């Protein structure tokens, strides 16, 4: 009978020892109390607590946690009521302060974020609120991080998840956005027409300039042609007169050929050029000589020669 009692006691002791061996998993911590007072914080690993004296006051996760708070009603500076819900990313850095710093720390963070959000939004107008998410997030995070430092909590990020203005304000904003898009479309269309008109005007200007240049070049070439024609007529006249001066009275063939060559050159250009008065006088003289030779092939015209 005594052996049975002894074995029972041994079994009880073994069971008590086994049940008081605790393994703390990774990224966790246990806050231990001894006789109702804080005793120690168990980190990751194997630990043994004293039976009936030590107890685990709180099991704490050291991983980063995310809390999505429900929408909170806030009023802007221009008296617009809207609903804003926030998301808080935090991490427990001191298990002891987390266990004894504040009662229901998650609820405390929610209330603190709501009051801080109302204070910040109350200083901003509606349009600024909608376009200043990063500024609002930063301000809320700074306030929460300072307040929760005494609770053993580190606030890493705060994000405004949704900003919900009243339905009437949303309708007005949609109409404003539509009007703005229409205005931009009209401006872009006007700029396109303006650009098109500018390009057309520039094209017409360049075409006019090219036409003027072409006409100028044509006049220059025409003037050069007339000058060359005058030079050729003058040269033909000079050659003919030289032949007439050098030819003997009996060289009627040479004289006639010279006059014909000159007259042919002069008559071909007579409609296009103006022969100077000196050349016209010489041409008249040459014509008279030609008539003289033509009327008397033998050169026997003593009365006309006189």
What DSSP string runs through 264-283?
HHHHHHTTT----HHHHHHH
CB 304 within 8 A of CB 290: no
Tell me if 75 sits within 8 A of 94, measured CB to CB. no
Domain residue limits, the chain: 2-60, 65-165, 223-305
> How far is Cα 264 from Cα 46, in angstroms, rounded to an integer?
133
Dump pLDDT digits (tens) for 148-172. 999 999 999 999 988 888 888 878 8
CB atoms within 10 A of CB 90: 23
Q: Does domain 65-165 have CATH number 3.30.479.30?
A: yes
76 vs 261, more confident: 76
Are 235 and 193 a contacting pair, CB within 8 Å?
A: no
Q: For residue 1, is pLDDT > 70?
A: no
- Closest by Cα among 72, 170, 77 to 123: 77
How many helices (DSSP H) and strands (DSSP E) are in the chain?
Answer: 9, 9
User: For the segment 245-260, what is each residue's pLDDT rounded down to a tens digit?
Assistant: 665 545 555 555 555 6
Contacting residues for 89 by C-beta, under 8 A, at least 6 apart: 64, 65, 66, 155, 156, 157, 158, 159
Residue 75: strand, helix, or coil: strand
Q: State if pTM tops 0.85.
A: no
């Amino acid at each position: 009978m005594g052996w049975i009692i002894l074995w029972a006691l041994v079994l009880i002791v073994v069971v008590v020892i086994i049940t008081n061996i605790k393994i703390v998993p990774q990224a966790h911590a246990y806050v231990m109390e001894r006789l109702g007072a804080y005793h120690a914080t168990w980190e990751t690993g194997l630990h043994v607590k004293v039976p009936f004296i030590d107890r685990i006051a709180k099991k704490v996760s050291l991983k980063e946690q995310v809390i999505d708070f429900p929408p909170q009603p806030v009023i802007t500076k221009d008296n617009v009521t809207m609903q804003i819900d926030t998301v808080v990313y935090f991490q427990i850095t001191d298990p002891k302060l987390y266990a004894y710093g504040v009662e229901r720390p998650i609820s405390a963070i929610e209330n603190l974020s709501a009051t801080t959000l109302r204070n910040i939004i109350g200083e901003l107008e509606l349009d600024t609120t909608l376009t200043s998410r990063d500024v609002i997030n930063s301000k809320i995070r700074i306030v929460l991080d300072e307040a929760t430092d005494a609770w053993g909590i580190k606030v890493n990020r705060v994000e405004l998840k949704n900003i919900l203005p009243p339905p009437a304000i949303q309708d007005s904003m949609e109409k404003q956005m539509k009007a703005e898009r229409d205005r931009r479309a009209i401006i872009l269309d006007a700029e396109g027409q303006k650009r098109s008109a500018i390009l057309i005007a520039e094209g017409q200007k360049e075409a006019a300039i090219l036409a003027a240049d072409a006409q100028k070049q044509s006049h220059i070439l025409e003037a050069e042609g007339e000058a060359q024609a005058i030079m050729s007529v003058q040269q033909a006249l000079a050659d003919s007169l030289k032949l007439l001066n050098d030819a003997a009275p009996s060289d009627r063939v040479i004289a006639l050929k010279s006059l014909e060559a000159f007259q042919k050159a002069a008559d071909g250009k007579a409609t296009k050029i103006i022969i100077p008065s000196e050349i016209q006088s010489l041409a008249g003289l040459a014509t008279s000589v030609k008539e003289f030779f033509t009327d008397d092939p033998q050169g026997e015209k003593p009365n006309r020669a006189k």
